[in-house]
């Protein structure tokens, strides 16, 4: 029996990915009990008891923590073909000012400015803010606007909805998905094995 490991992960990770990953990890470690909770901003729970935390963005201070990058998620703008046909397709970043923008609020970033591929950022006025990128992709797929979402193509695309990229190579960047463990428990072989296997699983899914 490997005991219970308390895991915190960000809200909005695609349900199919979460289920697949958790089932695979339980198959790899059948004696482990995973106690999973979700948070808009996992790093706000650093003072809560946990064994492993998945979070997006930069790591906190190294004091007291071990941090490892599991994968880097590209960031891109998406919209539905119907929305772009109705409202017009932006050809420059400045064109976004005339559109309904769905902003991802994560790690204190992207709520009021979107990254530019050549560096710098573009100030925006969002019509909607959410910490849940799956929700944003669903709204964009329902002709609700243009959303900045993370993930490889199709990762956050809900079944049955069509999303197309907008301003590819012009607006976008990437963000790290990290595994964080308290330094006091970071040497635990269960955690090291769990993180190693999670990284291999993401690689097999074409996500790392």
Q: Which domains does the chain have, with CATH numbers?
A: 3-72+175-204 (3.40.190.10), 74-173 (3.40.190.10)
Q: Kindly tell me if the per-residue pLDDT of 1 is higher than 50.
A: no
CA distances from 75 to 45, 103, 173 (A): 25, 12, 5
Candidates 159, 166, 162; CA nearest to 100 is 166
Neighbours of 162 (CB within 10 A): 11
Q: Which residue has the higher pLDDT, 102 or 188?
A: 102
Q: How far apart, in whole angstroms, are the C-alpha atoms of residue 119 and residue 86? A: 30
- Averaged pLDDT score across all residues of the chain: 84
* Cα 35 versus chain centre, distance: 20
Strand (E) positions, 13-127? 32-39, 52-56, 65-79, 101-104, 113-115, 121-123
pLDDT, tens digit, 9 for 90 and up, residues 140-183: 999 999 999 987 655 556 667 789 999 999 999 998 888 888 87
Q: What percent of the chain has pLDDT over 90?
A: 39
Q: To which residue do tokens 């599991």 refer?
A: 70
Segment 96-99 long-range contacts (CB within 8 Å, at least 24 positions apart): 96/122, 96/124, 96/146, 96/167, 96/171, 97/124, 97/125, 99/145, 99/146
Burial of 156 (0-12, 13-18, 19+ CB in 10 A): buried
Helix (H, G, I), strand (E, B) or coil at 26: helix
pLDDT, tens digit, 9 for 90 and up, residues 22-81: 777 777 777 788 898 999 889 999 889 988 888 888 888 767 788 888 888 899 999 999
Q: Which residues of 8-22 are buried (b: 16+ CB within 10 A; e: fewer)?
A: bbbbbbbeebeeebe
pLDDT of residue 144: 95
pLDDT of residue 122: 97
């Amino acid at each position: 029996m490997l005991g219970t490991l308390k895991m915190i992960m960000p809200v909005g990770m695609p349900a199919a990915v979460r289920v697949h990953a958790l089932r695979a990890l339980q198959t790899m470690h059948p004696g482990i009990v995973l106690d999973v909770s979700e948070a808009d901003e996992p790093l706000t729970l650093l003072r809560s008891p946990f064994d492993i935390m998945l979070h997006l963005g930069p790591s906190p201070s190294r004091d007291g923590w071990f941090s490892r990058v599991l994968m880097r998620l590209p960031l891109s703008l998406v919209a539905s073909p119907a929305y772009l046909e109705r409202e017009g397709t932006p050809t420059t970043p400045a064109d976004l000012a005339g559109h309904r923008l769905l902003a991802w609020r994560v790690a204190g970033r992207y709520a009021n400015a979107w990254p530019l591929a050549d560096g710098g950022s573009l100030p925006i006025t969002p019509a909607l803010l959410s910490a849940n990128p799956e929700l944003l992709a669903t709204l964009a797929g329902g002709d609700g606007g243009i959303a900045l979402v993370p993930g490889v193509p199709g990762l956050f695309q809900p079944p049955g909805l069509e999303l197309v990229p907008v301003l590819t190579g012009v607006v976008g960047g990437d963000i790290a998905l990290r595994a964080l463990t308290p330094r006091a428990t970071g040497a635990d072989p269960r955690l090291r094995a769990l993180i190693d296997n999670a990284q291999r699983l993401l690689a097999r899914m074409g996500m790392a």
